[in-house]
Amino acid sequence: MKKYGLLLTGVMGLISHQATAISIVFDYSYDSSGFFADTQRVSLLNAAGNALGSRLQDNLGAITPGGVNTFDASFINPGTGSTATINNYNVLDNTLVIYVGGRDLGSTLGIGGSGGFSAGGTQSFIDSLNRGQTGVDLTPPTDFGPWGGSISFNSTANWYFDTDLSTDADIVGNDFYSVALHELGHVLGLGTAGSWNTWVNSTDATFTGNLSTLAFGSAVPLYSDLSHWNTGTMSTVDGVAQEAAMDPNLTTGTRKLFTKLDYTGLGDVGWEVSAVPVPAAVWLFGSGLLGLLHFGRRNRKS
């Protein structure tokens, strides 16, 4: 008996000291238009998910309904725009599930946000809904632990699906990889989480999160929707200047990676952001917030 207890302690210690990443898993079951019936598009989306998930070191707990414990996940159906609900939804640890699809979004390139839920059951089950991110339950919230969410891509946009992400020299049209990163940012809480709103000063439209303020040099000006950095906000990628990914626009023919400021935004929302990608402990194939956020098209003249 005692030996068994010691063994368990040792295993738990090992797990808690292991750097892990978050597995971002995409689900295509609501892609009624067949936008992702193309392996290149799936490959690019997975690359975007891995780029961000590999930088997140949080330990997200599982949500396991059963018996008196219920967990009904709701999200925007990416194929229709209406609300979808899945009853008794199981959430795996260290995993986010994102429902993706395409539909006509008019002049908007993508819409992304975290999912919501309704739940009931024992107190310990209710306590597990923050996925171990205790700051979710503070007032105001200082952390974020969604189960996942959904992203819709505009099925009528003039997309560029890159076959070689190592260069952005040949982009024509709207870079899908850039928009995927931006919408993933919304699913991860940028512009959508309660812990994002904690740092929004609506009086002067600035974001006052500590990490972002330090990176930017002052409180960060926000776009009028208070869910994006202001249009044209600059930061850096590996020391090279680039317009931030989470401003509202993407210039046709260009790529935007996540900048230092975009990552500090994730940190201010509550994510434990690694300076370099970390390996996943497990790669499994396996939001009360609904952010209806746009990614407007900017047409460069000439």
For Zn ion, the closer of residues 63 and 293 by Cβ is: 293
CB of 178 to Zn ion, least distance (A): 11
Q: Which is nearer to Zn ion, 160 or 295 (CB)?
A: 295
Return residues touching Zn ion (CB under 5 A).
Answer: 293, 295
Q: DSSP assignment, residue 136?
A: G
Specify whether the backbone of 94 is left (phi greater than 0), alpha (psi in -120 to 50) or beta: left
Asked if 25 contacts 97 with a C-beta cutoff of 8 angstroms, the reply is: yes
CB of 184 to Zn ion, least distance (A): 11
When the beta carbons of 70 and 251 are compared against Zn ion, the nearer one is 251
Could you tell me where the DSSP H helices lie in 17-56?
Answer: 39-53
Query: Which is closer to Zn ion, CB of 65 or CB of 248?
Result: 248
Measured from the CB of residue 51, what is the shortest distance to Zn ion in angstroms?
17
Token readout for 186 is 């919304």
Give whole-number Cα distances, 255 to 174, 206, 222, 233, in Å: 9, 25, 21, 15
Nearer Cβ to Zn ion, position 97 or 293?
A: 293
C-beta of 73: minimal distance to Zn ion in Å? 22
Shortest Å, Cβ 247 to Zn ion: 8
* Cα 135 to Cα 264: distance, rounded to the nearest angstrom: 17
* 162 vs 183, beta carbon nearer Zn ion: 183
Structural contact between residues 269 and 196, judged by C-beta atoms closer than 8 angstroms = yes
Q: Whose Cβ is closer to Zn ion: residue 48's or residue 293's? A: 293
Cα-based distances in Å from 220 to 58, 62, 114, 233: 25, 34, 23, 9
In the complex, the smallest distance separating the C-beta of residue 264 from Zn ion, rounded to whole angstroms, is 17
Closest-by-Cβ residue to Zn ion is 293
Q: Which amino acid, one-letter code, is at 191?
A: G
Burial class of 5 by CB neighbour count within 10 A (0 to 12, 13 to 18, 19+): exposed
Q: How far apart are CA 293 and CA 149, in angstroms?
A: 13
CB 228 to Zn ion: min, Å? 5
